[in-house]
Amino acid sequence: MLKEEVPQDKELFGDQSGICYALDANGRYVLAEFSGWEPANIANSQAWEAISLEVADILAEIRAGKRSPLAYHMVANQMDEKLLAEYTGLFRWQVRRHLRPGPFNGISAKLRGRYASLFSITAEELGAIPDTTALARLQTAKLRSKE
Amino acid sequence: MINTFNHRQSAHCESGVTANLLSHHGLAMSEAMAFGIGAGLLFGYFPFIRINKLPLATFRTAPGNIFKKVAGHLGIHVTRHTFTDQNRAMAELDRYLDEGVPVGLQTGVYWLPYFPPALRFHFNAHNLVVFGREGDSYHISDPVFGETVTCSAADLTRARFAQGALAPKGKMYCISHIPTNIDLAPAIVSSIREVCRVMVKIPFPLLGTRGIRYLAGQMEQWPARFGERKAILYLGHIIRMQEEIGTGGGGFRFIYAAFLQEAAAVLGDSRYLDISTRMTDIGDRWRDFAVAGARHCKGRAGENDSFADLAGILRDCADKETALFRDLYGLTKS
């Protein structure tokens, strides 16, 4: 890849830029500034779409009363039961239980605080059923980096 | 206190941290040279290891290896710590900073607030250098970024104790002693031999050029085995590992080609320049794969972008790399 051919398809780095290796006119390698490359951007958006789809599914389940609001915060933070259990120091079966609305409503204030501080939110926010704008917010957070 | 630290932006975090730390301690070194002496180049495809539920493909050695190998090859003394206690981990970091020693850390990207949102995934092998502290705010030289950044103690603690695959466990490392009169030449030769061995000599089907061919074979079956939607997710994941961040383009092949140019100068052997040129062509070929693959992901696959065609590009890369690493191995013996 020649220095002149280094792609500048802005997306992943936001307003910053990365470094890649390219050849100068004499065939010597130089560090070239680059702000992104379309194929990499496509692959990255695809990963985010997969996350949004998962979040949308979970939101529907929460509204149908099948899941607790904790499930939303778990997938919105790209976690699964195992990772969430590792972060909170709980057993997986405990986390799995808290993902159901009934047991979730019964958990202690202390445990609720533990979950909330992991996600950097308040205990009230953790318990609230996320509204329809939750998914949109997640997507804007991602889009902000494109500007 | 804030120590002086010469921040240089680099393509890859670990080789960047290694080069910057060495340069700070008086051994000037480029990122490409650190990557080369660290024998960072690899290919491996491990479908039974899952990252975000997708099979692991890697173009580089395991995290921590580059720094370890550079130190090993050059006889540099390194201090390393991991921790179970978060407060102790931060106290120990502060102690080094107060002594004026810049410290390398392994961190989880997800918790670093200065990272662009689009890149914040649970990836736990990101390296950076902390070179100072002002109250609650740590001054960080993150080689992937153009400027130094700052991060609060709370965020940095979280990043150091990220959980999941490759959990850093607060890992920190710093250089304690660099011997005088370092000769790069023998280190270069033996690190090149290590890379060649892994790429073509070890008869393990998931590693090196064998691994590339194995991936090609698997890829052809993805649409039939998993359906088009999942096959595309798998494909996108390979492209991300190859190009997304820190690879310098072409799945580290360009960095390695840059290293081979520097190696030619140090060893005074122009044959390494030819190999470098061939490596560049291979990097370009990997990028062809990414372009065609991304078209496929976008649903704009042309006539020649089927999974079989993509596998064809991979096999081409594998053939060229096999020949290249055999020749390169030969050069190190003569």
Give dist(CA B333, CA B269) in Å, integer. Answer: 13
Residue A144 scores a pLDDT above 70 = no
Are the C-beta atoms of residues B67 and B38 closer than 8 Å to each other?
A: yes
Nearest to A86 among B144, B163, B294 (CB): B163
Using alpha carbons, list the distances in angstroms from residue B47 to B55, B138, B165, B237, B297: 4, 38, 15, 12, 20
pLDDT of residue A147: 37
Chain A residues touching B237 at Cβ < 8 A: 43, 47
First to last CA, chain B: 51
CB-CB: which of B11, B250, B283 is closest to A19? B11
Answer for the pair B30, B42: CB distance below 8 angstroms, yes or no: no
**AA letter at A79:** M
B291 vs A contacts (CB less than 8 Å): 39
| Residues B134, B153: Cα–Cα separation, whole Å | 10
What is the reported pLDDT for B43?
95
β-bridge mates for residue B207, sequence order: B44
Determine what percent of chain A is predicted with pLDDT higher than 70.
89
Whole-number pLDDT of residue A10: 81
Q: How far apart are CA B237 and CA B285, in angstroms?
A: 18
Cβ pair B188, B266 in contact under 8 A: yes
Gap between the Cα atoms of A13 and A146, Å rounded: 8
pLDDT tens-place string over residues A86-126: 999 999 999 999 999 999 999 999 999 999 999 989 998 89
Q: What is the pLDDT of residue B283?
A: 95
Mean of pLDDT over chain A: 86
Q: Do A49 and A32 sit in the same domain of this protein?
A: no
**Residue A20 sits in the same domain as residue A58:** no
pLDDT at position B333 is: 87
Contact between A18 and B244 using a beta-carbon 8 Å cutoff? no
Whether A140 has its CB under 8 Å from any CB of chain B: the answer is no
- For residue B104, give every residue at least 6 positions away whose Cβ sits within 8 Å of its Cβ, in sequence order, or none: B17, B21, B67, B127, B128, B129, B172, B173, B174
* Residues A11, A65 within the same domain: no
Is pLDDT of A146 > 50? no
Residues of B in contact with A28 (CB under 8 A): 261
User: Which of these, B34, B168, B177, B158, lies nearest to B101 by C-alpha position?
Assistant: B177
- Which chain A positions have a beta carbon within 8 Å of B244's beta carbon? 12, 40, 43-44
Strand-pair partners of B45? B57
Provide the residue ranges of all domains of chain B, joining segments of one domain with +.
Answer: 13-37+77-177, 184-333
Q: Which residues contact B221 (CB under 8 A, 6 or more apart)?
A: none
Mutate: best of B234, B244, B260, B313, partner A, most A CBs <10 A: B244
Q: Which residues contact A60 (CB under 8 A, 6 or more apart)?
A: none
Out of A38, A40, A82, name the one closest to residue B244 (CB). A40
Judging contacts by C-beta atoms under 8 Å, the chain B residues touching residue A19 are 9-11, 144, 248
Could you tell me if B154 and B167 are in contact, meaning their C-beta atoms sit under 8 angstroms apart?
no
State the CATH class of domain B13-37+77-177: alpha beta
Could you tell me the pLDDT band of residue A139, with boundaries at 50, 70 and 90?
low
Assess whether A28 and A55 both reside in one domain. no
Whether residues A60 and A21 share a domain: the answer is no
Are A29 and A68 within one domain?
no
CA angle A66, A72, A78 (to 5 degrees): 130
Domain that holds residue A22: 3-36
Q: Are residues A49 and A11 in the same domain?
A: no
Judged against a pLDDT cut of 70, whether residue A140 lies above it is answered with no
Single-letter residue type at B36: G
A13 contact B CB<8A = yes
Q: In terms of domains, do A70 and A137 share one?
A: yes
* Residues of chain B contacting A13 with CB distance shorter than 8 Å: 116, 118-119
Residue ranges of chain B with per-residue pLDDT less than 70: none
pLDDT category of residue A145 using cuts at 50, 70 and 90: very low
Number of structural domains chain A divides into: 2
Residue A3 confidence (pLDDT): 84
Q: Would an 8 Å CB–CB cutoff place A79 in contact with chain B? A: yes
Interchain pair A12, B116: CB under 8 A: yes
In this structure, are A30 and A96 located in the same domain? no
Paired tokens of B229 = 């939607």
Residues paired with residue A23 on neighbouring β-strands, in sequence order: A2, A29
Residue A132's pLDDT is what? 60
**Pairing relation of β-strands B137-141 and B41-51?**
unpaired
